């Protein structure tokens, strides 16, 4: 456990795939600690969460920034071990239930990706992978809903959609508990998925603009080092997407191309199934933004979706 400024503590858990770790934060309060995010629900919860039992005061509440497995997955275990209240964005929990609470999510996702050009072979691999991961997504059921402007132990709740539709952050005295809204070394993924809001990149760019206006002096992210200049970092990410939108537009022509074909143009051929899934969802988020900017047209033949340039 690391001590950060303002008495905030950081608890870091290793992750088995992709990004090697996730950070959870402990915020001090008059009645006890607020834990932000819960890691993945891997076996060995008691050992993993032992540092919580050694705190000088009880964990009174658990706040979830968004429903992705590495943030929400350890919720049930954390709640059982602390008996704390769990709070999660109202919209985020609805999506959490739609995705992890329904048995056919991996099927719906695979069908959707195939409709956007993903080869059937890669889709089958994704269906298999989803089953392996599912047992570690143990979110706490029926959390108390949080909305924009709510206050939790003196921290203000901000809805900053983009990386996830219902992503929330906490802000107090210029410190932003950022979840994956703002990361230092890597760019948060923004993807279009079934049942998600129609223009996640548009949402994200608006959230970044809001972050720049808010001008926090420090952001504590879910992965990587604290972001010492959140405004500069938000500006860099806006610029990153501006360039990627131009690359995406350049990958389109008169002939219709699927999201999959565009993802190959943007990210290359050599991706494993899981990386391809993120690449395709990311390409689709950029394509849908281009459609709204009048720079691309969505079409298709009823079973396959495709895009043309304008």
Where along the sequence are the contacts to Zn ion (CB under 5 A)? 70, 180, 222
Alpha-carbon distance of 29 to 75, in angstroms, equals: 20
Closest distance of CB 225 from Zn ion, Å: 15
* Smallest distance from Zn ion to CB 213, Å: 24
Give the largest Cα separation in the chain, rounded. 65
**Closest C-alpha to 125, from 241, 284, 277:** 277
Of 127, 221, 203, the C-alpha closest to 161 is 203
Distance of alpha carbon 54 from alpha carbon 301, whole angstroms: 60
Closest CA to 266 of 290, 234, 302: 290
Whose Cβ is closer to Zn ion: residue 70's or residue 203's? 70
User: Token pair 């993120």 is at which residue?
Assistant: 278
* Shortest distance (Å) from residue 242 CB to Zn ion: 24
Query: Which CB sits closer to Zn ion, 70 or 76?
Result: 70
**Quick check: 234 and 211 in contact, CB under 8 A?**
yes
Identify which of residues 17 and 57 has a Cβ nearer to Zn ion in the complex. 17
Q: Hey, what are 27's tokens?
A: 């915020």
* Spatial contact of 309 and 164, defined as CB atoms under 8 Å apart: no
Q: Least distance to Zn ion from the beta carbon of 292, Å?
A: 27
CB of 74 to Zn ion, least distance (A): 12
Q: Which is nearer to Zn ion, 72 or 208 (CB)?
A: 72
Would you tell me the crossing angle of helices 230-250 and 259-267 to the nearest 10 degrees? Answer: 120
Q: Measured from the CB of residue 180, what is the shortest distance to Zn ion in angstroms?
A: 4
Q: 55: Cβ–Cβ under 8 A, 6 or more apart, which residues?
A: 26, 33
CB 220 within 8 A of CB 23: yes
């Amino acid at each position: 456990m690391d001590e950060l400024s303002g008495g905030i503590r950081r608890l870091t858990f290793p992750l088995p795939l992709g990004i090697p770790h996730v950070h959870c934060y402990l915020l001090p309060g008059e009645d006890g600690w607020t834990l932000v995010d819960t890691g993945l629900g891997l076996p060995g919860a008691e050992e993993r969460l032992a540092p919580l039992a050694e705190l000088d005061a009880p964990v009174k509440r658990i706040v979830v920034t968004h429903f992705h497995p590495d943030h929400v997955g350890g919720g049930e275990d954390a709640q059982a071990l602390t008996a704390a209240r769990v709070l999660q964005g109202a919209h985020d929990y609805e999506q959490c239930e739609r995705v992890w609470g329904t048995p056919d999510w991996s099927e719906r996702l695979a069908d959707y990706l195939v409709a956007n050009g993903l080869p059937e072979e890669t889709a089958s691999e994704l269906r298999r992978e989803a089953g392996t991961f599912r047992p570690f997504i143990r979110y706490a059921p029926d959390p108390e809903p949080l909305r924009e402007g709510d206050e939790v132990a003196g921290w203000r709740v901000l809805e900053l959609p983009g990386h996830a539709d219902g992503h929330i952050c906490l802000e107090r005295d210029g410190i932003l508990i950022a979840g994956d809204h703002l990361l230092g070394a890597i760019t948060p993924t923004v993807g279009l998925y079934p049942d998600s809001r129609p223009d996640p990149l548009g949402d994200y760019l608006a959230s970044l603009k809001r972050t720049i206006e808010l001008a926090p002096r420090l952001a504590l992210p879910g992965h990587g080092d604290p972001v010492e200049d959140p405004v500069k970092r938000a500006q860099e990410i806006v610029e990153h997407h501006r360039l990627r939108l131009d690359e995406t537009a350049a990958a389109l022509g008169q002939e219709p191309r699927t999201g999959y074909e565009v993802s190959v143009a943007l990210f290359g051929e050599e991706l494993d199934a899981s990386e391809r899934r993120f690449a395709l969802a990311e390409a689709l988020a950029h394509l849908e933004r281009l459609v709204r900017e009048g720079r691309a047209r969505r079409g298709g033949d009823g079973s396959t979706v495709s895009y043309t340039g304008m």
